[in-house]
Amino acid sequence: MEKVLDSVQERVKRFLSEPKKMFINGEFVASASGKTFESINPANGQVIATVYEAGQTDVDKAVAAAKAAFKGPWSKYSPAERTRLINKLADLIEEHVDELTYLETIDFGSIESLSRHGWVLGAADHFRYYAGWATKLNGETMTLTSGGNKHAYTVKQPIGVCGQITSWNFPILGAAWKLAPALAAGNTSVLKPSQFTSLTSIYLAQLIKEAGFPDGVVNIVTGPGSTTGEAITSHPDVDKVAFTGSTSVGKGIMRKAADNLKKVTLELGGKSPHIIFADADIEKAAQNAFLGFTMNQGQVCAAGSRVYVERAVYQEVTDRLVEMAKNLKVGDPFDPSSEMGPLVSKEQYDRVTNYIEIAKQEGGQVLVGGKAPAESSLADGYYLEPTIIAGLNENCRAVKEEIFGPVLVILPFDDVDEVIERGNLTEYGLASGVHTRDINKAHKVINALNAGTVWVNAYYNSNSAVPLAGFKQSGIGAEHGYPGIEIYTKTKAVVIDLG
Catalytic residues: 267, 301
Angle between helices 79-95 and 121-133 (to 10 degrees): 170
d(CA 209, CA 384): 39
Nearest to 199 by CA among 18, 33, 6, 341: 18
Phi, psi of 125 (to 5 degrees): -60, -40
d(CA 404, CA 302): 10
Give the bridge partners for 388, in sequence order: 368, 408
408, 307 Cβ separation under 8 angstroms: yes
Helix ranges (DSSP H) in 168-234: 171-184, 199-211, 230-233
d(CA 485, CA 497): 31
Phi, psi of 84 (to 5 degrees): -60, -45
- One-character DSSP codes across 85-143: HHHHHHHHHHHTHHHHHHHHHHHH---HHHIIIIIIHHHHHHHHHHHHHTT-----EE-
Instruction: Decide the pairing of beta strands 27-29 and 22-24.
Output: antiparallel
471, 270 Cβ separation under 8 angstroms: no
d(CA 187, CA 488): 7
226, 256 Cβ separation under 8 angstroms: no
157, 140 Cβ separation under 8 angstroms: no
